[in-house]
């Protein structure tokens, strides 16, 4: 059986077997002593009866034959009837049979004491076994918990390796710790490879973005030169505007890709500090000051004056700006974009909502997927990365984003930030 592979279990069963043998032997000894004592008590009782019969005038030989000659059933029945007439029956209390009372008191106490001793030893042995096993399991659990903390993975792996190679030999716990250690080693290698891949991605995108800055700048300069050289040609001016628009999209995409790569690689260190949300949102939405007027839209900020949020001002502004830009992009003329702040005892919520076209139900699970383009959307200007970047930034702050939408009735994006406290 597999349970006997564990050396500790084998030892437990061996000890239990020896213990039971000792209990059986002790029980046989007690039974033999009880039988001998009962025999002596019976002989003493018969001797007393023989003496009483002798005093009644019966000769010794006849008195002795009463106890040694086999009795007939008739004699037993007659004797039982005579005793019943004298008030001696099987229901007679032990107190009126001194020999029985003495026997019960002596061996009842001995059996009770022996049972208590054996039970205490058995329970103590089981307790020691399970306490020892529980300590090993707790040590393994703590090692796994430390492994989950990236700073202590190496030490936790060494501890689990020591557990798997301990005195458990080839036991089930040793096999379990060995399997956990193998899994930890594999997971560590995977995490290191993933970290290397992220670093490579970040460096690659960084290199590409830096390499593209020069040609982008050159193309923008060429556009300006062409525009100055052909100010009267409407076709040239139209193509210059289109070219400038596409260059701006390329620059926006490259910058956001670089930001995403840095976030994914864990290369961002947040400069968290308390922010007064009304002032922060006012400054952040300042970059949208002209767009509502040009496009015939409105933007409103509703935020309690005393509301504070701890976070990185630069990155939070990026997240809010992306959500507001997305709201403007999907809101027609005369639309309204609202930024609403709320506070509860456990969280701070920044909501960006609009009354635009809304999001199709099939698209809701994928709105934060990078470069996702809906087949139902009429927007061909976005690059599909702003919402992804906003989500990564909020998650970096320990928060989350929830989206709700009804097609044709706008969309609601809620950035939820937990109010963490030291308990």
Q: Which of 233, 268, 303 is the last residue of a domain?
A: 268
Q: Does 279 lie in the same domain as 204?
A: no
Quick: pLDDT tens for 254-263: 777 777 777 7
Residues 252 and 359 in one domain: no
Nearest-angstrom CA–CA distance, 296 and 324: 15
Average pLDDT over residues 230-239: 72
Residues 288 and 412 in one domain: yes
Of 205-219, 285-299, 369-383, highest mean pLDDT: 285-299
Stronger pLDDT, 354 or 79, i.e. the higher one: 354
In a domain, 193, yes or no: yes
How far apart CA 22 and CA 25 sit, in angstroms, is 5
- On whether both 281 and 389 belong to a single domain, the answer is yes
Going by the DSSP 8-state scheme, the letter that residue 318 receives in this structure is H
Shared domain for 53 and 133, answered yes or no, is yes
Domain boundary among 217, 233, 268: 268
- Judge whether 99 lies within some domain: yes
Q: Are residues 119 and 241 in the same domain?
A: no
Phi/psi of residue 378, each to 5°?
-95, 0
**Full-prediction pTM beyond 0.95?**
no
Secondary structure of residue 335 in the 3-state scheme: coil
Strand-pairing partners, residue 302, are 340
CATH number at residue 238: 1.10.287.130
Question: Does 284 share its domain with 219?
Answer: no
pLDDT tens sequence across 143-192: 777 766 655 555 555 655 555 555 445 566 666 777 777 777 777 778 77
Last residue of a domain, one of 268, 297, 312: 268
| Domain co-membership, 295 together with 396 | yes
Nearest to 324 by CA among 282, 375, 273: 282
- 61 & 185 share domain: no
Residue 205 lies in a domain: yes
In the numeric block, which tokens belong to residue 304? Answer: 């309690």
Q: Please check whether residues 285 and 400 belong to one and the same domain.
A: yes
- CA distances (Å), 18 to each of 77, 110, 122, in order? 49, 21, 11
| 90 φ, ψ (degrees, to nearest 5) | -70, -20
Asked if 100 and 37 touch (Cβ cutoff 8 Å), the reply is: no
Does residue 157 belong to any structural domain of this protein? Answer: no
Query: In 156-297, at which residue ranges do the beta strands (DSSP E only) sit?
Result: 272-276
Q: Report if residue 161 sits inside a domain.
A: no
Question: How many domains does the chain divide into?
Answer: 3
Q: Are residues 318 and 347 in the same domain?
A: yes
| 337 alpha carbon, distance to own chain's centre | 40
CB 320 within 8 A of CB 290: no
Q: Which residues of 51-86 are buried (b: 16+ CB within 10 A; e: fewer)?
A: eebeeeeeeeeebeeeeeeeeeeeeeeeeeeeeeee
CATH label of the domain that carries residue 299: 3.30.565.10
pLDDT at 303: 93
* Residue 197 counted as domain residue: yes
- Do 181 and 81 lie in one domain? The reply is no
**Mean pLDDT for all residues in the chain:** 77
Query: In whole angstroms, how large is the CA radius of gyration of the chain?
Result: 46
On whether residue 215 sits in a domain, the answer given is yes
Task: Indicate the SS3 state at residue 97.
Answer: coil
| Tokens encoding 189 | 């290698």
Q: Is residue 392 part of a domain?
A: yes
The residue assigned the tokens 């002593």 is 33
Question: Of the given ranges (200-204, 228-232, 293-297), which has the lowest mean pLDDT?
Answer: 228-232
Higher pLDDT among residues 153 and 373, named by residue? 373
Q: Examine the pLDDT at 402 and tell me if it is beyond 90.
A: yes
Residue written as token pair 């492994």:
147
Query: For 200-235, b where at least 16 C-beta lie within 10 A, e where not — what string?
Result: ebbeebbeebeeeeeebeeeeeebeebbeeeeeeee
Domain that holds residue 276: 272-418
């Amino acid at each position: 059986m597999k349970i006997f592979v564990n050396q500790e279990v084998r030892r437990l069963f061996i000890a239990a077997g020896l213990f039971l043998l000792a209990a059986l032997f002790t029980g046989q000894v007690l039974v033999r002593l009880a039988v001998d004592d009962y025999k002596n008590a019976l002989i003493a009782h018969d001797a007393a009866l023989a003496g009483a019969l002798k005093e009644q005038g019966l000769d010794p030989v006849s008195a002795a034959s009463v106890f040694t000659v086999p009795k007939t059933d008739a004699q037993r029945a007659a004797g039982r009837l005579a005793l019943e007439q004298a008030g001696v029956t099987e229901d007679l209390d032990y107190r009126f049979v001194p020999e029985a009372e003495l026997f019960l008191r002596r061996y009842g106490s001995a059996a009770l004491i022996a049972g208590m001793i054996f039970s205490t030893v058995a329970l103590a042995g089981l307790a020691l076994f399970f306490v020892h096993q529980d300590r090993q399991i707790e040590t393994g659990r703590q090692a796994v918990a430390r492994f989950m903390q990236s700073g202590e993975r190496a030490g936790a792996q060494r501890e689990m390796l020591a557990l798997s190679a301990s005195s458990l030999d080839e036991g089930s716990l040793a096999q379990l710790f060995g399997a956990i250690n193998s899994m930890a080693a594999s997971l560590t290698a995977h995490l290191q490879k993933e970290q290397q891949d992220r670093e490579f991605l970040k460096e690659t995108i960084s290199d590409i973005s830096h390499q593209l800055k020069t040609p982008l700048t050159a193309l923008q300069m060429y556009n300006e030169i062409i525009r100055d050289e052909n100010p009267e040609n409407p076709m040239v001016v139209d193509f210059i505007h289109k070219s400038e628009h596409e260059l701006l999209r390329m620059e926006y995409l490259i910058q956001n890709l670089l930001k995403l790569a840095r976030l994914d690689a864990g290369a961002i260190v947040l400069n968290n500090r308390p922010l007064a949300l009304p002032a922060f949102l006012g400054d952040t939405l300042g970059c949208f000051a002209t767009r509502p007027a040009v496009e015939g839209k409105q933007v409103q900020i509703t935020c309690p004056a005393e509301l504070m949020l701890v976070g990185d001002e630069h990155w939070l502004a990026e997240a809010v700006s992306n959500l507001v830009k997305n709201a403007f992009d999907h809101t027609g003329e005369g639309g309204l974009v609202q930024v609403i702040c709320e506070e509860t005892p456990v969280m701070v919520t920044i909501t960006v909502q609009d009354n635009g076209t809304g999001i199709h139900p099939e698209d809701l699970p994928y709105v934060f997927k990078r470069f996702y383009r809906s087949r139902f959307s009429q927007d061909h200007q976005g690059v599909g990365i702003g919402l992804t970047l906003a989500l990564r930034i909020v998650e970096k702050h320990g928060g989350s984003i929830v989206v709700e939408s009804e097609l044709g009735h706008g969309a609601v994006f809620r950035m939820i930030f937990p109010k963490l406290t030291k308990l």
